[in-house]
Amino acid sequence: DVKVTQSSRYLVKRTGEKVFLECVQDMDHENMFWYRQDPGLGLRLIYFSYDVKMKEKGDIPEGYSVSREKKERFSLILESASTNQTSMYLCASSLNGPQETQYFGPGTRLLVL
């Protein structure tokens, strides 16, 4: 079974704080993804990574950065949290190849006050 885990289920932070969200997968997947999910907007891709130390911007990268120092771990960083970053954050991973399924973690619900 593919397992994707996220460091926190719920997180409450203050405006301006630096926030780290961590994601770990145990299936040796090359690709890892960070999404945010908001009511009425669906899942939107923030950043993704094809390999260690590689990263690509998704559709909404502003205000976020990522780090992938090891194959199994992909971190999302909010440099200075703002209230409009309150959201559900979802990590996913997949093998590198055509038609490979993305498997998701349980999500982190972040509230920025």
Partner 1 sequence: EDQVTQSPEALRLQEGESSSLNCSYTVSGLRGLFWYRQDPGKGPEFLFTLYSAGEEKEKERLKATLTKKESFLHITAPKPEDSATYLCAVQARYTDKLIFGTGTRLQVFP
Euclidean distance between CA atoms 104 and 93, whole angstroms: 7
Taking CB under 8 A as the rule, does residue 101 contact partner 1? yes
Residue 104 near partner 1 by CB under 8 A: yes
Residue from 3, 106, 111, 113 in contact with partner 1 (CB under 8 A): 106
Q: Which is nearer to partner 1, 9 or 53 (CB)?
A: 9
And the tokens for 37?
A: 């999910």
Which tokens hold the place of 7?
């460091």
Coil, helix or strand at residue 64 = strand
Asked if 75 is part of the footprint of partner 1 (rule: CB under 8 A), the reply reads: no
The CB-of-69 to partner 1 minimum distance in angstroms stands at 21
Which chain residues interact with partner 1 by CB under 8 A? 4, 31, 40-45, 48, 50, 58, 90, 94, 96, 98-107, 109
